[in-house]
Amino acid sequence: MLNLSSLFYSGVEQPTFLDNITLTQAQCDVIVEAKEAVRQQLRDGLATALQALGHAGEKVQPRFFTQGSWAYKTLNAPAHASQQADIDDGAYLPLSSMTATTKPSIASKVFFAAAEMALRPLVNGRGWTLITDKPTCIRIEISKLAHIDIPLYAIPDSEFQQLRKAAMEMRGYLTLDEAVRKAERDAWTALPRDQVLLAHRENDWVKSDPRPVKTWFLGEVERHGEPFRRNVRYLKAFRDWQWVAGGPSSILLMATAAPVFEARDRRDDLALLDLVEQMPQVLRDGVVCPTDHTESLTVRLGKAGVEETIAKLQQLENHLRSAIHSSSPTQACEWLRRQFGPRFPDQPDRVKSTTATATVMATPAAAVATPLVGRTKAG
């Protein structure tokens, strides 16, 4: 039998599969700079654009909250040239007309129009592409590698003012930038979940708060340990290689994996095998959104999509099990590269032989609580 774990993840041996699906520092720097440029452009121009569209009022700067895989630290580099890394950065404005109503006074289409007007000078000047046909966001393609999605949110005026006030009260905390980050982390946590509205191009405003999913996922990482985050990334990389477009959503993969995942001490290969063996039944039973049990993620994917996902997961299980039970490291690497693509290391010399007894005795690792710190959460 073989121990393939060092090809998935290792603190000493490189490259690993995890290394190969991770964006380079230079690529991350480009994304961070672009994200900050987009934020600054909205800070500088959104209020002016709203006034130009006939909606005069107090000039306020939007607040921002990074969500999705960038915030969860599960963002992978694209597996195919046609794919892009997806960065989600929500923009928030106070748009309620009075405390007695829960609807903003400005129609969502005006919010979209103003944000797009404010962003066009930056987009045109950088040679980026502005995409305005997404129902729930503005998309900016910053390169062939990545795009930034900007969902637009409305929160009550009082809550928005609390976000701004919290930052000002923390001026003595290290630096102003750090004060803003820390204060807004606290203020975002305190914001009522039922008072966040997402602008929708067809449906005006819908209740939608990205924070509960982020809180849920980081809680699962705390419960299971970092191996859970790594295995989610392996599953997403598998999805991206097997489906050039489409396939199961990231939230569906996370919600399917979370209840059955069990870490194995220094054996990510065994943990992944256990996981993909159990995921088909979880999918057959139906998977709901972990933060809204009235929303079925499997129904959203559709019966055909669920069956296709199950078939591919069973295919991965068969190849991974055969690789672990193989006597040939070369053959094992070949089987796994069929499933994960060429980013899985073809380095049979790093594969270790082990016994069946040692494999069975690879006990589940005890989860260790990790700091719930994202890369850039609010600003």
User: Which CATH number does the domain housing residue 149 bear?
Assistant: 3.30.460
Q: Which of 211, 245, 265 is the last residue of a domain?
A: 211
The answer to which of 7-11, 171-175, 277-281 has the lowest mean pLDDT is 171-175
Per the structure, the count of domains in the chain is 2
Residue 319 lies in a domain: yes
Domain shared by 233 and 200, yes or no: no
Which residues constitute the domain of residue 342? 2-12+225-360
Residue 218 lies in a domain: no
Q: pTM to 2 decimals?
A: 0.88
Residue 116 lies in a domain: yes
Apex CA 120: angle with CA 125 and CA 122, to 5°? 35
The answer to which of 152-161, 189-198, 244-253 has the lowest mean pLDDT is 189-198
Tokens of 326: 């193989």
**Predicted pLDDT of residue 245:** 96
Contact 105, 45 (CB under 8 A): no
Cβ neighbours of residue 343 closer than 8 Å, sequence gap 6 or more: 17, 20, 21, 79, 237, 241
Nearest residue to 243 (alpha-carbon basis) of 34, 105, 82, 131: 82
**Predicted pLDDT of residue 95:** 63
Neighbours of 104 (CB within 10 A): 23
Residue 323 lies in a domain: yes
Domain shared by 229 and 206, yes or no: no
**Predicted pLDDT of residue 342:** 98
The answer to which of 4-8, 87-91, 284-288, 359-363 has the lowest mean pLDDT is 359-363
Domain shared by 119 and 257, yes or no: no
Phi and psi at residue 318, in whole multiples of 5°? -60, -45
Residue 351 lies in a domain: yes
Q: For residue 15, say if its preceding peptide bond is cis, omega within 30 degrees of 0.
A: yes
More confident residue, 357 or 141: 141
The answer to which of 11-20, 155-164, 165-174, 231-240 has the lowest mean pLDDT is 165-174
**Predicted pLDDT of residue 363:** 63
Domain shared by 38 and 100, yes or no: yes
- Average pLDDT for 66-84: 96
